Amino acid sequence: MNLLLIEMCRCLRRVATIFALVMFWGGLSHAAGPVSLAFEERAAQVETLTSGLENPWSMAFLPGNEGLLITERGGRLRVWQDGELSEPVAGVPQVYARGQGGLLDVALSPEFAQNRRVYLAYAEQGNNGAAGTAVGVGRLSSDRKSINDFRVIFRQEPKLSSGQHFGVRLVFDREGFLFIALGENNQRPTSQDLKKLQGKLVRLNADGSVPKDNPFSGKSGVRPEIWSYGHRNPQGAALNPWTGRLWVHEHGPRGGDEINLPEAGKNYGWPLATHGRNYSGLAIPEAQGDSAEGTEPPHYVWLKSPAISGMAFYNHERYPAWRNSVFIGALKDRQLIRLELDGDKIVREERLLSDLGERVRDVRSGPDGYLYVLTDSSKGSLLRVSPSP
State the catalytic residues: 165
Cis preceding linkage at 298, omega within 30: no
The residue type found at 93 is: P
Measure Cα distances from 307 to 62, 135, 218, 242, 270 in Å: 28, 24, 37, 26, 17
Entry field: residues in the chain = 389
For residues 380 and 334, the answer to whether their CB atoms sit within 8 Å is: no
Picking from 223, 191, 236, the residue whose alpha carbon sits closest to that of residue 328 is 236
User: H or E segment at 361?
Assistant: strand 360-365
- Buried b / exposed e along 338-377 (16+ C-beta atoms within 10 A): bbbbeeeebeebbbbbeebebbbbbbbbbeeebbbbbbbe
The residues, ordered by sequence, that sit 6+ positions from 34 with a Cβ below 8 Å of its Cβ are: 297, 298, 299, 300, 301
Instruction: Quote helix, strand, coil % in the chain, to nearest 5.
Output: 10, 40, 50
The residue type found at 269 is: G
Euclidean distance between CA atoms 321 and 332, whole angstroms: 26
Give Cα 334 to chain centroid, integer Å.
15
Q: Is 80 exposed, middle or buried (0-12, 13-18, 19+ CB in 10 A)?
A: buried
For residues 125 and 131, the answer to whether their CB atoms sit within 8 Å is: yes
Picking from 239, 259, 232, 240, the residue whose alpha carbon sits closest to that of residue 248 is 259
DSSP line for 140-154: E-TTSSBEEEEEEEE
